[in-house]
Chain A
Amino acid sequence: MAGAGFRPCGDFKQDYASDTRIFDTAASRWWCVAGVVLLCLLPIVSEYGGIDLKYELSLLIQVGYLGIAALGLNILVGFTGQISIGHAAFFGFGAFASPFLNNNFGIPVFFSIPLAGLMATAAGMLFGIPAARLKGLYLAIATLAAQFILQDFFGRADWFSGGTHGAPASPFSIFGFAFDTDATFFYVVLAYVVLLYLGAANLMRTRDGRALVAVRDHYLSAEMMGINLTKYRTMSFGISSFYAGIGGALYGHYLGFVSVEGFTILFSIQFLGMIIIGGLGSIMGSLMGTAFMVLLPEVMDGLTGALAGTPLDRALGLKDNLSYLREIAVGVTIILFLVFEPDGLAHRWRQIKAYWKLYPFSY
C-alpha cells in the first residue's frame, strides 16, 4: 500500500501486472499464505492433536468477525474520511437480519449471511444519505442518530429481532453438515475473512477505491476529476455496512442467539478504537487493531494473574478490579497510540520490517 516498499536488491517489476499486486514481494505473499494454512491446521491440532486450543480458537473467531466489521469501518473512516459512531448498530442489523431470513423464510444460513450483508448495505446507505452534505462532527451526530434509531428498532420490532426476547440463530451448515463447534465454525470465519479482506484490497487498487480515497484527500478536486461526491460518500456507508452486516451475521450464527443488549454506542466506539490502533486507511491494520483489542483483556488477565498474591496485588486489589482495569487499559492504549503512533500498528509493522531489511545498517 505504502508506495515504494523495501524490495530485495534486483527485484525489478517487468510488467504492470506484477507492479499492481496486493503483496509487493513474493516473500510477503507466501508468508501470508503460510499464515492462513497454519491457521487452518489449528482446529485439527485442537481436535486430534491432544492440545486443547478451544479458548484460543474462540478468540480467533472473535478477531475474525470483529475484524471484518472493523475493516468496513476503516473503509468508511480511514479510506473515505467520513466518521461514524453507529457502526455497532449495523453490526447488530446483520446479526438480526441473517437469523430473521433463516427463521422466517427458510433461507439456508449459507445464503442468509450474504443477504444480511446486503440488507445492512441498504440500511447503511439510507442512514448515509446525510453524509452527502455533512462532514466532521455534524456527520458524527447524524450517525449517532442511526445508532439510537436502530438500537430502538431492535428492541421494539418483535417481527424482526424477537424484541426483548432476542432471536435464536441456527448454526451455519452446508449439505446437512453443521458448523456448530468452535473448531468447525473457525473455517467459516476464516474463509469470510480471507474473501472480504482480498475484496477490500482489490477495491482499493481499482477505480472506486481510488475514488473513495480521492474524496477523503481533496473532495473539490475529486469532483473536478468526475467523481460524484454524493454517490461515493453514500456508497462508502453502504460498503462499510455490508462488512458490518456480514461480521454481525457471523457473530449471530456463532453464538446461536442474538439479544438486543450488545449493540450499544460503546461497542461502536470500540470499533473506532480498533481501527485507530490498527491504522486508519490500512487494510491489514484493521485486523491487527481488532486482534489487539480482543487480546488486550487477555493480556491484562494474564498480568493480574501473574501478580496475584504479590504485595502489589494486595495494595491495589488488582484481582477485584479486573473489569475496570480492562477498560482503563483500552482507554490508555488508545491515547498512547494517538500520541506516539497515530498511523497505528500497520505503520509500526512496516517500520519493523524496514528495520530488519536493513539490519545492521541504519540506511
Chain B
Amino acid sequence: MGERTATPQEPLLTVEDVSLAFGGVRALTDVGFAVERGELFAIIGPNGAGKTSMLNCISGRYRPQKGRIRFQGRDITHLSPNDRANIGIGRTFQNLALFGHMSVLDNIMVGRHHLLRNNVVTGALYWLGGARREELAHRREVEEIIDFLEIQHVRKATAGTLSYGLRKRVELARAVALKPDLILLDEPMAGMNLEEKEDMARFIVDLNEEWGMTVVMIEHDMGVVMDISHRVMVLDFGRRIALGLPAEVMAHPQVRRAYLGVTDDEAAPAAETAQ
C-alpha cells in the first residue's frame, strides 16, 4: 500500500490484499490499492489479467477468498450486491447489460430504484399514495441525466433496439441515475469509433469533475487512459505490477513488456532478463 497519498482523510475505496481463485485458476493474487475521493482511477492490463474480476469484487458479484474491501470506511467485503447500490456504488458492464425490452427511460428509472420509496401497494394506487408525485420528481432528475448524456432522441426507444454506442451511453446513464459516489466502468469505450470515444471520454471527465463522482475505469485504449485518468493500476496474471501516475506507469519496464509492447531494440535486453 505504499502508493497511498498522504491525505488526512481515509480514501473512498480501499482494497486490501484481495485474492480470488476459481478452483485452480488464481484470478487475483494479493491485489491492493486505494482510490481517493474525486479521483479518476484506471485499471489496465492484458486480457485475462483480472481487471473485471477486480471490479466484480468491488461491486459484489464475486466474493474474494482473502482480503478486505472498504468503502467510505466501512468493510463491504461481505455485503450483497444490491446493498452496495444503496451505499453509493454504481457500475456498468463490459458486455451490454441493459434491460432489453424496456424503454431507455425505464432503464434509467430502474437506476433510481434505491432512491424511490413507493412500493407495490402505493405504486398500484398511484394517484393516492404519493407514488405519482414521487415518480414525476424522479423523472425530472432522470431527464437531467438524459440531457447530459445527449440521448433525448431515444428516450422512448426500446433499449434492445439501439446501436452499440448508444446502448453504452444508456448504460452509463443508468449507473449515473443511482447517484453513486463511486462509479465503476468496465470498458466504457470498447467497440466504439473515434467520435464516440471522444464523447464518452468527455462524459467521464464531466462526471468526475462536475458531478463529483469518483471513477474506477477499465479501459484498453491507452490514449484515453493516459489523457483522462489521474492514476493507473496495471494488472497482469492477477497481480498488480504497477500503480502510479499515467506517465510513470507508461515508463515502467514490466508494464511495457507485459502490456504495452516494446520495440525490438528494447525487447532484446528485456528478453534476456526474462530468461
Contacts and interface: CB of A to CB of B under 8 A. Distances in A.
A9 B91 CA distance: 40
Contacts of B123: 202-203, 206-209
A206 B101 contact: no
A214 B99 contact: yes
A214 B157 contact: no
A224 B81 contact: yes
Interface in B57-99: 59-61, 80-86, 90-91, 93, 97-99
Nearest to B123: A206
Contacts of B86: 226
B120 A217 contact: no
Interface in A65-106: none
Contacts of A223: 81-82
A202 B102 CA distance: 16
Given A3-B156, A206-B135, A218-B100, A200 B93 contact: no
A128 interface: no
A20 B100 contact: no
A342 to B, nearest CB: 13
Contact of A3 (B93, B99, B110, B157): B157
Contacts of B136: 16-17, 20
Contacts, number: 121
A220 B97 contact: yes
A233 to B, nearest CB: 12
A207 B116 contact: yes
A140 interface: no
B91 to A, nearest CB: 6
Interface string A1-40: 0111000000000001101100000000000000000000
A220 to B, nearest CB: 6
The dominant DSSP class at the B interface is: helix
A206 B83 CA distance: 20
A226 B126 contact: no
A199 B82 contact: no
Contact of A213 (B82, B99, B122, B178): B99
Given A214-B102, A220-B97, A228-B82, A205 B124 contact: no
Nearest to B137: A16
Given A20-B135, A209-B123, A229-B82, A217 B113 contact: no
Contact of A221 (B98, B103, B122, B125): B98
Contacts of B125: 199, 202
A211 B110 contact: yes
B178 A217 contact: no
B113 A226 contact: yes
A269 to B, nearest CB: 25
Nearest to B107: A214
B98 A225 contact: no
Interface in B12-58: none
Contacts of B99: 213-214, 217-218, 221-222
B82 A207 contact: no
Interface in A228-255: 228-229, 235, 239
A281 interface: yes
Interface string B109-152: 11111101011101111100001100110011001000000000
A220 B120 CA distance: 22
A213 B97 CA distance: 14
A208 B116 CA distance: 10
Nearest to A236: B120
B206 to A, nearest CB: 22
A347 to B, nearest CB: 12
Nearest to A22: B126
A135 interface: no
B181 interface: no
Contacts of B101: 213, 216-217, 281
B158 interface: yes
A188 interface: no
Contacts of B90: 224
A115 to B, nearest CB: 15
A3 B99 CA distance: 14
Contacts of A220: 61, 93, 97
Contacts of A20: 135-136, 139
B174 A213 contact: no
Nearest to A202: B126
B187 interface: no
Contacts of A224: 59-61, 81-82, 84-85, 90-91
Interface in A280-323: 281
Contacts of A214: 99, 102, 110, 113
Interface in B213-239: none
A129 interface: no
Given A4-B156, A213-B102, A214-B102, 13 more contacts: A199-B125, A206-B135, A208-B123, A210-B106, A211-B113, A220-B61, A223-B82, A224-B60, A224-B61, A225-B113, A225-B174, A226-B85, A226-B86
Task: Please provide the 8 A-B residue pairs with the shortest distance between their CB atoms, ordered closest to farther.
Answer: A226-B85, A206-B123, A217-B99, A202-B126, A226-B114, A221-B97, A199-B124, A207-B116
22 contacts: A2-B158, A16-B136, A203-B123, A205-B135, A207-B113, A207-B123, A208-B120, A208-B123, A211-B113, A213-B106, A214-B113, A216-B101, A218-B97, A221-B93, A221-B97, A225-B82, A225-B85, A225-B110, A225-B113, A226-B86, A226-B114, A227-B110
Interface of B: 59-61, 80-86, 90-91, 93, 97-103, 106, 109-114, 116, 118-120, 122-126, 131-132, 135-136, 139-140, 143, 156-158, 174, 178
